[in-house]
Structure 1
Amino acid sequence: MKLEMVVMAAGMGSRFGGVKQLEAVGPAGETMMDFAVHDALAAGVERVVFVIRRELEADFRAQVASRYEDRVEVACAFQDLDDIPAGHRPPEGRTKPWGTGHAVLAARHHVEGPFIVINADDFYGAHAFQALAGALREPAAGPLPVHAMVAFRLANTLSPHGTVARGLCDLTASGTLAGIREHTGIRALPGGGADEAGPGGLVRFTGEEPVSMNMWGFRPGMMAALEGYFKAFLSRLGGDPKAEFYLPAAVDALIQEGRAQVRVLETPGRWFGITYKEDRARVQAEIRALVAAGQYPKAGGI
């Protein structure tokens, strides 16, 4: 089966103040998605599915998808508020779709084989894509499906301009994911970081902790599992106009129920993202340094 990739590109950057997916970060105007697709193709991805808002389709195809269509098979899927199972309907007052789990599920009609999932506005680096693609190519070795995720070191994901939300990974002795602890207010500090609003008060970190940045690798069958969890979510919380169906929560349910394992692939590479407007200059400088070092082609070659 061909290796595919789902790119979650439907969200808005609330703290950034606009749509981040088309921000120029490379020396020739490249976006985060340009670097992600470049790295994904080098890792063997043969099909890319962009999850977008339906009203943006024409502009997205013209401005983004058209840049890749001569190199890889491209499809667009739509994350619609009313894309929900029969018997359910959006509650009064809800205007946004249902979260990252729903975003991945929106691509279910376009995905057939193992697939990578990423955020459109994040830079993950070539090493992360190579590691994830390699894990998905390995044959099944037991009765349970073994999915994968890339974990970055916390210090390599923090912003100097404000607090960030991060999911800290708890690992089993064999290196699989035991669970993810969400911290919503981590601030970078010399020698690590701290969550000033953590459970029980101040929580300090060394910076070496593995964190999830929403870079996953799933085996076939994950879409069916997501459908089941989404139905259960709607039965419990579908009437809440602010409830979110998060992808990590669905993965955690699979683990806790003994239905799957998730292999954690740690990378020493840096993750880049524009959480705040002030992050942009730093991200541009970091990526231009990678281009200058020969890790990416110059003059818009990606």
Structure 2
Amino acid sequence: MATEQTIGFIGFGAMASRMAAHLVKAGYKALAYTPSGKGGDGSVPFLPTPAEVARQADIVLVCVPDDEALSASMYGPTGALAGMTANGLLLNTSSVSPEAALSLYDAGKALGIAVVDCPVSGSTPEADSAALVVLAGGDTQALAQAKPVFDAIGRLTVQAGPAGSGARLKLVINGIMGAGLTALAEAVAYGLAAGLERDMLFGALDEMAVISPHHKRKLRMAQAGDFSPQFPARLMQKDMRLLMDAAAREAVPAPTLAAATQQLSLARRAAADSDYAALIGIMENIAANDV
């Protein structure tokens, strides 16, 4: 049980708000900042700048969508680093590029602040049930300091390696997710165009061991035509874009992932704020219009 420590959230969207609920239950206090300035219902006070949040927090947890949002909320006179003191702990749960994660680590180190890149694997259902997998990169002492927080929000913490390793591992995992969903969407479209009965097809796929539990959940969403965002298409496509850039930096050929990125760009263009499973519905519509 935490003893009166305060966690300051930078970004308080679908994932961070669920993390906060578990951390409050574990005994922490919480306060937050969002770029929109919206939020705060009394239970979690909202402050006007990241620096103000950092000044009042023992631990800062940032959960923002991309490199640009991370930079805007961390640096400068109103950024979180400006409000933190030496020996502080900053947990970066954002899914960002390894370069952005390392830049934040270096900036924190120069100020005596421990920074851990710790994106999470899992969507809103896992966040609801505190069953996230935390992918942590950083120094051993900082990881030990962060362990009570990770234990409150997740079922497992993977110590991925030194700073930047959590960000790299997250790209690997999300690349597999994105490519798997793309393959499903194209295969389902073929089955429907070839005349297979819709409910039979979706039901049969739900029984197949070759399809992951995560992707079975996406198939059930597609069968019901409900693409309420658990993982929005705009964020999935962003992660694929980051992976393609990272792979190119390492001169790793990734043609399958490149093709999946193009399909997920279609999903983002057509349904940015819907779940990325919307790609299955898009492909179904193409198939239906072709028969």
Bigger relative contact order, structure 1 or 2 (CA pairs below 8 A, ≥6 apart) = 1
In the superposition, the TM-score normalised over structure 2's length comes to 0.31
Rg larger for: 2
Structure with greater helix share of residues: 2
Structure with greater strand share of residues: 1
In the superposition, the TM-score normalised over structure 1's length comes to 0.30
